[in-house]
Structure 1
Amino acid sequence: MTVKLTNAQIAWRAAQDIEDGAYVNLGIGFPEMVASFQPPGRRAIFHTENGILNFGEAPAAGDEDWDLINAGKKAVTLNPGASFFHHADSFAMVRGEHLDVAILGAYEVAETGDLANWSTGPKGIPAVGGAMDLVHGAKRVAVITDHITKDGRPKLVKACSLPLTGVHCVTRVYTSLAVIDIIDCRFVLREKLLAMSFDELKALTGAELKVDGEIKSLTAPEL
């Protein structure tokens, strides 16, 4: 397999589905890229678990204020109207279902919507962090990920083998090869790369891949 979307292109595609004015939390690492690709005329309000609402773009190198960081310890700027709050208040926002969207990375996603994204096993990190709250507090949970692991194993599977972050929580997955919804505990294909056949995609997916209606072409700009 030689053709696939880059991480930036996956993040771009996920950003196209965020509604104007949505309150959004982005997972640490790769998902943070989504904030760079808001469509023209739309503005999401980004939330970070450590206590900022409506933070802006990353500052230029040398202009960082290290008192202003996101949950991933990266420097941020503030948009007009931004606010600060206690860590406990931040999680009250999450648990109170005040976030419209959470976009997270994944090690595995099951066809049931189960997510494993915090530990690869006994030698993994010692705690799940805020992800467990996010996947059950946000109104919509999406995942961005490569379609397969570096050694060629499917990341979209029938059942997760790694420690779970949440159950029945993911509703859409944006991968390097496809956009897939999870409906009634089944993967339903919505978009795929034009250069990849349906059979090729099925062979790289670790659970049944359903078709329900038109399969659109997955495209993204050069980034």
Structure 2
Amino acid sequence: MRDNVKNEIAARVARDIPEGAYVNLGVGLPTLVANHLPADREIFLHSENGVLGRWESAPAGEEDWDMINAGKQPIKIQPGAALFHHADSFGMMRGGHLDICVLGAFQVSATGDLANWHTGKAGSIPAVGGAMDLAIGAKRIFVMMEHLDREGGSKLLSRCTYPLTGVGCVSRVYSDLATIEIADKALKVLELVEGTSAGDLQRLTPVPLDFSLLTV
């Protein structure tokens, strides 16, 4: 995925994060959301390695490797941010103190099941991290992902074929083709990326899509 597309998805997620929210950013694509949050909106970012507050990616030449996000990338924290113990961070995650968690995914099912830690393929390296804690601990799960895998198959499926991270936990999917809400046992398309039509999206997605909420 091109960097400009990654940042467009991150900016779309950032627009949907409300004032006062406590938001965990997972590794990979979700780390980019920190760079796109509105400056006039008070949002508390959380990283599972023990950071709370606001930050952005550290500019080149200003890296401080004592300050990193969950993806081990250097960050530049803003005044008021806090660094604390890993155990306390997991206490926040497991205690229901996070409003939103933004995660990447290998697959998402039509009922909101999440698979993002292992493909189940021989030789692949599992990397569950804190994803299972976040999947059950956060009030809402937003997923950022490419709509199609490397073989051209949809990552949005009727049922996940990879080992699950969480069951029925995903609230919304942000892909390079669309934004889709998972609610009332339906996949409700909220927005299409420019250049993608409703017909294109349905053709690439092997589950029924509801376009009733789509605004043109």
TM-score normalised per structure 1: 0.89
Deviates more, 1:193-202 or 1:124-133: 193-202
**Unmatched segments (≥5 aa) in structure 2:** none
Match of residue 110 from structure 1: 109
Q: Any idea what the Cα deviations from partners look like across 1:149-187, whole Å, max 9, x if unmatched?
A: 122100110000011111100011111111111112321
The answer to whether structure 1 residue 37 and structure 2 residue 36 are counterparts is yes
Work out whether residues 55 and 76 of structure 1, in 8 Å CA contact, stay in contact via their aligned partners in 2.
no
Q: Distance in 1 between matches of 2:153 and 2:50?
A: 37
SS at match of 2:40: coil
Work out whether residues 52 and 84 of structure 1, in 8 Å CA contact, stay in contact via their aligned partners in 2.
yes
The one-letter code sitting in structure 2 at the alignment partner of 1:133 is D
Match of residue 16 from structure 2: 17
Match of residue 129 from structure 2: 129
Q: Distance in 2 between matches of 1:53 and 1:172?
A: 23
Match of residue 157 from structure 1: 157
**% same residue:** 50
Q: Any idea what the Cα deviations from partners look like across 1:48-99, whole Å, max 9, x if unmatched?
A: 1111111412222222211111211111122222222211111110111111
The one-letter code sitting in structure 2 at the alignment partner of 1:18 is I
Deviates more, 1:174-183 or 1:58-67: 58-67
Match of residue 204 from structure 1: 204
SS at match of 2:61: coil
Alignment of 1:81-100 (within 5 A): 81-100=80-99
Give the ranges of 4+ consecutive aligned residues of structure 1 lying more than 6 Å apart after TM superposition: none
Match of residue 75 from structure 1: 74
Q: Distance in 2 between matches of 1:123 and 1:187?
A: 33
Alignment of 1:186-205 (within 5 A): 186-205=186-205
Work out whether residues 47 and 53 of structure 1, in 8 Å CA contact, stay in contact via their aligned partners in 2.
yes
Relative to 1, partners in 2 of residues 1:194 and 1:58: Cα closer, same or farther, differing over 3 Å? closer
The one-letter code sitting in structure 1 at the alignment partner of 2:108 is V
Match of residue 145 from structure 2: 145
Q: Distance in 1 between matches of 2:51 and 2:194?
A: 40
1:211 Cα deviation (Å)? 2.9
SS at match of 1:6: helix
Deviates more, 1:142-151 or 1:39-48: 39-48
Work out whether residues 34 and 54 of structure 2, in 8 Å CA contact, stay in contact via their aligned partners in 1.
no
Match of residue 46 from structure 2: 47
Q: Distance in 2 between matches of 1:60 and 1:32?
A: 15
Q: Distance in 2 between matches of 1:126 and 1:153?
A: 21
The one-letter code sitting in structure 1 at the alignment partner of 2:145 is T
The one-letter code sitting in structure 2 at the alignment partner of 1:188 is K
Match of residue 221 from structure 1: none
Q: Any idea what the Cα deviations from partners look like across 1:24-52, whole Å, max 9, x if unmatched?
A: 11110111111111124213211111111
The one-letter code sitting in structure 1 at the alignment partner of 2:52 is L
1:11 Cα deviation (Å)? 0.9
SS at match of 1:199: helix
TM-score normalised per structure 2: 0.92
1:216 Cα deviation (Å)? 2.0
Which structure is higher in RCO with an 8 Å CA cutoff and minimum separation 6? 1
The one-letter code sitting in structure 1 at the alignment partner of 2:197 is S
**Unmatched segments (≥5 aa) in structure 1:** 218-223
